[in-house]
Amino acid sequence: MLCWGSWSNTQKLVNANWRFELFCWDFVNGILLAALILALTLGSFGEQGRSFLVDIQQSDSKSIFSAISGGVIFNAANLLFMAAISIAGISVAFSVGAGLSLVLGVVVNYLDSPVGDTILLFPGVALIIVAISLNARAYTKMPGGAAAVSGKGLLLSICSGLLMGLYYKYVANAMFPDPLKPLSGMLSPYTAICFFSGGVFLSNLVLNPLMMAKPFAGSPVSFSEYFGGSLKDHLLGISGGFIWCIGMLFSIIASYKAGAAISYGLGSGAIVVASIWGIFFWKEFNGAPKGTQLTLNVMLICFLVGLLLIVFAR
């Protein structure tokens, strides 16, 4: 949750003219690099389970395809989400896209693997959705935050949320259910992350050039702009992907004990973590209209209570 809620700081630090399509190249490279480093270190050390290279050698096509599919779905969702932010703004993209992905992700993963007390789990999810909505409301109170939203921006937010709520189950289904009892053909979390990141990387070679040539907003972007970027911009993008990948790995490892629905639900609390960065570090709400601080305080309370309910559900 902390990693997923913090990687976006790297995007805030890049050059103001550095388009999200350009940032995504380095972000995806960072995910792939982190997955390989983690697999060859943490995923290969120790005495129990299977090391990374041995795990690859015995993996079957079904598990590999499942993990890669998760990567393709995630990358498509992430590109649409960034496009939605560029058109509809943070408030709509987060409240519609992220809220929808949270609900769908928890429900889909729970139906696939019903672990956790529903009496606590779903009210916890509901409170986090309320927190996301309050976060969006706080942004709309800012100058220019209540600008009209195009139908295209809303549609992109919905499509992104639907896809983002589906990718996690494909990665979880590729892994063997007990970390200390590897099953033949199935993957360890470290191997699953590598195939997942491979799916992200390969799909980005197709999807991102399309986004650059036919962007949903703004003028087309050329590859010369990417290669003309500064070392700082490239390193920040790679760092963002690295941080996100660490969060993803921790999340799917946690799913062994917490269950996929709870693990994904907690990870989705990253939306409010990102907002906390915005409030206290980036000072995004300095000079906000009267009543905004109350909205933010209620948001934080709903967020914390929601997280506690989700944790106690398991």
Give per-residue pLDDT as tens, 38-77.
Answer: 999 999 998 888 999 999 999 999 999 999 999 999 999 9
| C-alpha to C-alpha distance for 82 and 88, rounded to whole angstroms | 10
Tell me whether residue 220 is exposed, middle or buried, using C-beta atoms within 10 angstroms of its C-beta: 0 to 12, 13 to 18, 19 or more: exposed
pLDDT at residue 147 in the model: 52
- Give me the tens of pLDDT residue by residue for the chain, a chain 314 residues long: 999 989 989 988 999 899 999 999 999 999 999 999 999 999 999 888 899 999 999 999 999 999 999 999 999 999 998 888 878 776 667 777 888 888 899 999 999 989 999 999 999 999 988 988 888 888 777 776 655 456 788 889 889 999 999 999 999 999 999 888 899 999 999 999 999 999 999 999 999 999 999 998 889 999 999 999 999 999 999 999 999 999 999 999 999 989 999 999 888 888 788 878 888 888 878 888 888 889 989 988 998 899 899 989 98
C-alpha 3 chain-centroid distance: 9
Residue type, 306: G
Element (H, E) at 195: helix 189-213
This prediction's pTM: 0.91
| C-alpha to C-alpha distance for 66 and 50, rounded to whole angstroms | 19
In 3D space, the residue among 106, 97, 87 whose CA is nearest the CA of residue 136 turns out to be 97
DSSP 8-state assignment for residue 187: B
In 3D space, the residue among 141, 220, 171, 151 whose CA is nearest the CA of residue 31 turns out to be 171
| C-alpha to C-alpha distance for 300 and 314, rounded to whole angstroms | 22
Spell out the residues 6+ positions from residue 252 whose beta carbon is closer than 8 angstroms to its own: 168, 171, 172, 175, 189, 192, 193, 263
